[in-house]
Structures are given as C-alpha cells and as structure tokens.
Structure 1
Amino acid sequence: MKKILIAILMLIVLMPLIMWLLWIIKKPRELNILILDKTVLTSAVQEHLSLSWVINNEKFIHNSKSYNKQKDYYGFFPDDKGNYHIRDFENFSSENLDNLANSYDGAYYTDMYGIYANEWIIRYYPEKIHDKRFIADRSKKIYGGMTQKELDFLRLMKQKNKLIINEFNVIASPTSKEIRNKYENEFNIHWTGWVGRYFDNLDTLVNEDIPRWLIDNYTRNHSGQWPFKKSGIAFVSENDQILILEKDTHLNTDIPYIYTNENNAKHYHLPEKIKYPFWFDIMETNPSFRIISSYHLDTNAAGDSLLALGRIPKIFPAAVNYKNGYNYYYFCGDFADNPISYASSRFRYIQVFSPLFYSSSKNERASFFWKYYRPLLRQILNEEYQRTE
C-alpha cells in the first residue's frame, strides 16, 4: 500500500514535467495566421491572449518560428511605460496588400474597439486621476475602428479562399457606418446595432465595472433613476439607448447561455450548453450561414416586453460559419479576451485539468475558454491546416 501511495505521489509530482515534455516533442506545424488587435492596453495582450494560447498549445508556427504573442500581430503596441507605436496596413500599396494576403493562410481580427484617452491615462498616468470611475467615462479615441485597407485585406483573403475569423465589435463603434455597410455587404452579415453584457451585480455602489457612460445614458432618460440592485444584462444600442434586464424583474435566469446543437457540438467538441458572462453583439445572417451556436435569454413577460421595445430577439447567433467559396467565421462575443495563464499553453493535455483553473462564480470566464473557445478554435485551425497542408 505504501509503495502504491509513493508511486501516485511521484506521478503527481512528475505530471507537469511529463506534460511539458510531451508538448516539447510535439511536431510544430506551419500555419500562418495574421492577427489584428487594436485594443492592446498592456504587453499582457489579453485581448488576443486566448488565440495565442491555442496557437502555442497546438504548436502552430509561422515562417518556421514560434508565434510571439507580444510581437506577431498588427495593431497597437504599448511599451508599458506610457508610449506606443502602431503597425498596420495604412501605408500599404495594393501590391503590398496582395503580397501580404498571399503570405498568410488566415486572418483573425480579434478586437477593433481600440484605445481611448481615459484608460490610457489611468493606466500610465494615474497621478492625474482624481475620480476612480474616470476610466469608465467615454473619452477621445487614440486608435481604433476598421479602416478601408483592413477591409480590403479581408476581401483579398476571401478571394484567395483563405480562412477568415472575426469577432465581437469588428464593425461596431468606432468603425464608420460606411465601412460597416461595405463589410456587411461583403460577408452577408448584419449588426443590429445592439451589444450586451452580463453583470453579476447591477448595484452601482457595489460594482465599479459598470461603465459610467452606461449609467449616465440610462438615468438621463429615466428621471435620474437607476433602480437595479441584482444581477442582469445591460443592452446598449449604437444610438446610446440603454435597456436593462434584471434578475427576477425581467429574467428567470440572469445570465445568457450559449446552446449548440448535437451535430455541431460533436464536430467542434463543444458542450451543448454553457454560460457566457461577457460582452456580445447581436448579429443577423442569411440562411446560407451555418449557425454553430446561439445565445438564449430566459426572460419573463416583463423581459419579453422590454426586448420587444428594442427589437432584440431572445435567441440570436453566438458563432456562425459560411463555407462556400471561402471560409468565414464570426464569433458574436468578445471570445478572445480571457484572463488565462499563457504559461499553461506549454503543457500538452492540460485541458484534462482545466476544472482546477476556474471557480463556480457566474461571472468567471475561464470555463468558457476551456469548454468552448479552445475546442472551437482548435478544430477550426486544425481543419485549415489539413486543408492547406
């Protein structure tokens, strides 16, 4: 019995080393994915960290080298000292853009929202801040939004039948309506003008994560009142209309759930139901799209009336795919933004131990990464690798 216990303890101690060695000996595979991220506040690159994690864990490389999550992307580059530089396509000629498209197997636009003055100041010049809610106020844009050149690049990738993955906010504010309309026509997908997010507590005295502009826009149109104290979902329109659905008052279940049918769950290795507690956008597609998963809102009669006021559906796409002449995915949520440990990507089969990395709280996002985003993206990238091999 003692020998068995010692063997078990040794296995537990050696397991991380074994998993790391298994990752080390895994054969690298060439798959060149262009990453565009305009919302990088620090070198931690949280806004595309989940994507980088999957790429590294799967041992995908580009130009015969491992991806560097802090360098191998286009967009906004902070130096963590209050300075930054920008690397994008704006000075590319048509020939340069075409050559760029030829050199990549796919493109993933992770976050186009951008960087704004308030969050930059509070991060790097906090001595100038006297109101702790300053970061939640809207402010001048430093960098952000999709440009014509970035749309042109996607068109080239489409023409060359390359993999395209876009997600939440790619054509919402601050992207111009002109670019948005062109994008929608190009990819046959439409943004309804609404985004939403779950908050585990809508009490403004308790939850400082609720943006000041959201509170101000709501109270301005409701006689200065903010009556919410429980959890719920806030919806924001492109015209700054705010709708709040609160637990019990409007919602039977306070948090949005993503549902995946049996066939898609099997193909992408996804759960048939999982909570999603972060930002999402409400998109519409035509019947030629494959709806991989859908959001479901569990509303009561009062909630139904409020949704009808904003013409917001109770069920809407969470992840979609169009594969007819080109391979296009749209994730209708801020999927690539997830507070996970990048170091864990260097351990093969680490997903077996994933329950150790998240709690049972409703607003935690790590379980979404492990159960939904990682297997979904892993399947997509592996299929693309097999197609291009």
Structure 2
Amino acid sequence: MKIIKAWTFWLIPVLLVALAVTPWIWWEIKPDQTLQVTILDKTVANDSYREHKGLVWLLNQQKYVKADGQPYDYTKDYYGFFPQADGKYTTTELPEQMKGTDMIYLADTYGVEKAEYQGTNAGDEDSSAGTGDLSQGMLYGGLTDTDVQRIKAGVEGGGVKTLIAEFNSLATPTKQSVRKQIYPLLGVEWTGWTGRYFSDLTRGGEVPAFLSGNGSDANQWPYTGPGIVLVHEDGRVVVLQEGKQIGTEGVQTILTTQGKALLGLNDTVRYNYWFDIMKPAAGTEVLATYDLGLTEDGRTKMQEAGIDGSFPAIIQQQHDSYVSYYFAGDYADHDQYPFWRRYEGWETVKRWFTFDRPNSEDAFYWHIYVPLMKAILAQTAGSK
C-alpha cells in the first residue's frame, strides 16, 4: 500500500514535467527547412532591430534556415542600416543577383534621421511613420531605383517566389518616381494617407509633436482621450475621437473570406499602431480590411477628406512567376525575442493567452501576423 501511495504521489509531477519537456524535444528533433529570405530594413536606429525582429523570431521558431544551414540572426541577416558604436554605422544594398532567394521581405525603408541617431530623439518608436519633419535631414533611407530594379529582377527572373512589403516601405521619404516603379510589383498604390490609433490624444503624450504642434496655440490641438489621427503627405490632418467620430473598438482588422481561408482562423483583432491607406490594383485580393467603426460625423469627416470608411489591411496578388503581399501596417515590428521559439506550438499557446486590449500591440502580432506569415512561409517553401 505504501508503494502504491508513493507511486501516485510522484505520478502528477512526472506527468507535468513530461508535458513541459515534450514540446521542446519535439521542436529539437523536427527537421530544418531551407528557405532563403532576403530582408530589407533601413530603419534600424538602435540595437533593438524591432522592425524585423518579429519576422526573424518566427523564421527560427518554425525552423526555417538559410541556404548555408544556419538559423537566422536578426542582428546580421538583413540588408540596410547597421548601427555601430560611437555614432558610426554601415549600410548594405540588396544583392545584385537574387538567385537562390525564395522570398524578399521589405520590412521598413523609411531610414534613420540624423537627430534621432545622434541621440536627440533616441528611442522614438514613431520614426518610421513617414510623415515627420525631415528638416534635420536623413542619414539614410527611402526605397531607391537600384532597390526596385534588383527586386524586379528577382521576382521576374531570379526565382523569387514571394514578395512582401509592409509599412513603411513606400511612403516618405521614398520618391514618387520610385513608388510608381514598385506599385505594379505589389499590386497597390499609396493614397498619401497614414494613420494611427492613440489611447490618449492629449498633446505631450503619445501623439508626436509634428502632428499636435509645439503648444504655442492652445486651440491648435484641443483633443484628449482615445482616437485616430490620419495625416496626408501634403500636411492635412484628420482627427477622429472615440465616442464622437469612431466607436470604442479602435481600428478593427477584419478578415475577408479569402483571408479566413489562408489563416484558418476567424479572428477580429485591434490594430494599434501605424498604418497606411492603400488602393489595391485590379486583379488583387484583399485578405483583410481595417474598420474604424465610424459614426455619422466620422463618415462625414472622412468623405470631406476623400478617404473611404473601410480600407485594405492585407493585399495579395498572384503574378506570373510569384505572389506578392502588402501589409498596410508595421506588422513585423516586435520588440521581444523570447527563448520559447525553441518550443513546438508556442505560437499557438501565445495566441490563446494573449488578449485583445486597447493599448496592446501583442494581440495583433499573435492573432494575425504569426498565422498569416506561417501560411505564407509554408506556401513559399512548398513552391520551391
């Protein structure tokens, strides 16, 4: 009887340990998959690497490796701006030849401002908004003619299967002439409008000074409480206050029928960061839309500004030799890089236990971005 009691006493701890260890063992024995992803990120003002860190985490968690068999390193495996000590930096251009590349991912091409990199604006998470005051000048940034020509060569004859771009890859400071060259490759056109949901519109808080002014005129920015700010590249600003022009749910990401089929999910989640308003080209499929929950007053304000009340969040286009996606938001922007990437199914656990909250950016990452990219990565790997 004592032996039975001792055995039952240890049974539960042993089962709990086995339950915790099994997903790790499963991940370790799972074979790697070779997938060569070329990442372009020109907006790396510090060593957070957050504009592409969320993508690299997922590549490693899903056990995709480079052509040389090595896992991806978010500090090295990208092209663009590389910060160094003592205010120095280096830059690298996209490779001339894309042979062997399976996917091109334009994470952010806004670039780095002089003032920001020199420390006068360090840590500004809105640096890639593409609508700020550029009077201080840019150290580096913007999509270039060379970038577009190399991307075009890769997707049209270099064997690239998937092209992905997200905000900010097309807005300021990229020149209009360059945008026009890449629009057909992505199946989109920028309307000139950029926006963001803020939990508090009060001047001096989350809202950047270039939107709310310097405070010299108290009537210039009378807004408080939650809301959305839309800004055009020509300087026009539209403010939508919660409870007046929009509902209480912020910017809702709603999957279309095609989007639900791709993700295998039916989630509707807030998107709480910067986004741009894009016009999809003929022949594209919209996989998700943004809905602002506009009131009658809100619809009037949007109509007066020439903005549709609902606009695309995720756009897909099938081309002759590749498929393109445009994400109208800072989707790969994720500041965390947890050890739990070496854990099978961790991304599903995080989706279950990450709740949709007004001020959270995590819910969108785990509920929409991760399932979306898992599907796209799997499709790309399967088309090789």
TM score, norm. by length of structure 2: 0.88
In structure 2, the residue matched to 1:131 is none
Q: In the superposition, relative to structure 1, how do residues 7 and 351 fare at CA in structure 2: closer, same or farther (>3 Å)?
A: farther
Q: In 2, Cα distance between the equivalents of 1:251 and 1:324?
A: 37
Match of 2:295 among 270, 295, 300: 300
Q: Map residues 58-97 of structure 1 onto 2, 5 A cutoff.
A: 58-63=62-67, 64-79=69-84, 81-89=86-94, 97=96
Deviation at 1:284, TM superposition (A): 0.7
SS of residue in 2 equivalent to 1:101: coil
Task: Give the conservation status (yes or no) of the 8 Å contact 1:258–1:295.
Answer: yes
The amino acid of 1:53's aligned partner reads: W
User: Are 1:250 and 2:245 counterparts?
Assistant: yes
In structure 2, the residue matched to 1:25 is 29
SS of residue in 1 equivalent to 2:300: helix
In structure 1, the residue matched to 2:378 is 382
Q: In 2, Cα distance between the equivalents of 1:243 and 1:378?
A: 35
Q: In the superposition, relative to structure 1, how do residues 316 and 356 fare at CA in structure 2: closer, same or farther (>3 Å)?
A: closer
Task: Give the conservation status (yes or no) of the 8 Å contact 1:253–1:299.
Answer: no
Q: In the superposition, relative to structure 1, how do residues 260 and 82 fare at CA in structure 2: closer, same or farther (>3 Å)?
A: same
Match of 1:337 among 333, 336, 348: 333
Match of 1:40 among 31, 40, 44: 44
Deviation string, structure 1 residues 168-227 (Cα, Å, up to 9, x no partner): 12110010111012222444421000010010111124x2x311111129x89x884211
In structure 2, the residue matched to 1:132 is none
SS of residue in 2 equivalent to 1:102: coil
Q: In 2, Cα distance between the equivalents of 1:298 and 1:124?
A: 34
Task: Give the conservation status (yes or no) of the 8 Å contact 2:194–2:277.
Answer: yes
In structure 1, the residue matched to 2:140 is 143
Task: Give the conservation status (yes or no) of the 8 Å contact 1:321–1:328.
Answer: yes
Task: Give the conservation status (yes or no) of the 8 Å contact 2:256–2:289.
Answer: no
Q: In the superposition, relative to structure 1, how do residues 293 and 7 fare at CA in structure 2: closer, same or farther (>3 Å)?
A: farther
In structure 2, the residue matched to 1:353 is 349
Match of 1:227 among 219, 222, 227: 222
In structure 2, the residue matched to 1:259 is 254
In structure 1, the residue matched to 2:203 is 204
Q: In the superposition, relative to structure 1, how do residues 12 and 238 fare at CA in structure 2: closer, same or farther (>3 Å)?
A: farther
Q: In 2, Cα distance between the equivalents of 1:27 and 1:86?
A: 34
Match of 1:52 among 53, 56, 62: 56
In structure 2, the residue matched to 1:182 is 181
Deviation string, structure 1 residues 24-81 (Cα, Å, up to 9, x no partner): 2110111101000011122331110111011101111112221111111100111355
In structure 1, the residue matched to 2:127 is none
Deviation string, structure 1 residues 236-269 (Cα, Å, up to 9, x no partner): 1011211110111211235111111344313323
Q: Map residues 282-297 of structure 1 onto 2, 5 A cutoff.
A: 282-297=277-292
Deviation at 1:82, TM superposition (A): 2.7
Q: In the superposition, relative to structure 1, how do residues 117 and 16 fare at CA in structure 2: closer, same or farther (>3 Å)?
A: farther
Stretch moving more, 261-270 or 273-282: 261-270
The amino acid of 1:347's aligned partner reads: Y
Q: In 2, Cα distance between the equivalents of 1:318 and 1:384?
A: 21
Q: In the superposition, relative to structure 1, how do residues 372 and 7 fare at CA in structure 2: closer, same or farther (>3 Å)?
A: farther
The amino acid of 1:203's aligned partner reads: T
In structure 2, the residue matched to 1:116 is 113
Deviation at 1:318, TM superposition (A): 0.6
Task: Give the conservation status (yes or no) of the 8 Å contact 2:249–2:270.
Answer: no
Deviation at 1:16, TM superposition (A): 4.6
Q: In the superposition, relative to structure 1, how do residues 302 and 289 fare at CA in structure 2: closer, same or farther (>3 Å)?
A: same
The amino acid of 1:331's aligned partner reads: F
Q: In 2, Cα distance between the equivalents of 1:58 and 1:84?
A: 31
Q: In 1, Cα distance between the equivalents of 2:11 and 2:352?
A: 22
Q: In the superposition, relative to structure 1, how do residues 25 and 246 fare at CA in structure 2: closer, same or farther (>3 Å)?
A: same
Q: In 1, Cα distance between the equivalents of 2:20 and 2:80?
A: 35
Q: CA RMSD in A?
A: 2.6
Q: In the superposition, relative to structure 1, how do residues 288 and 51 fare at CA in structure 2: closer, same or farther (>3 Å)?
A: same
- Quote the sequence identity (%): 28
SS of residue in 2 equivalent to 1:65: coil
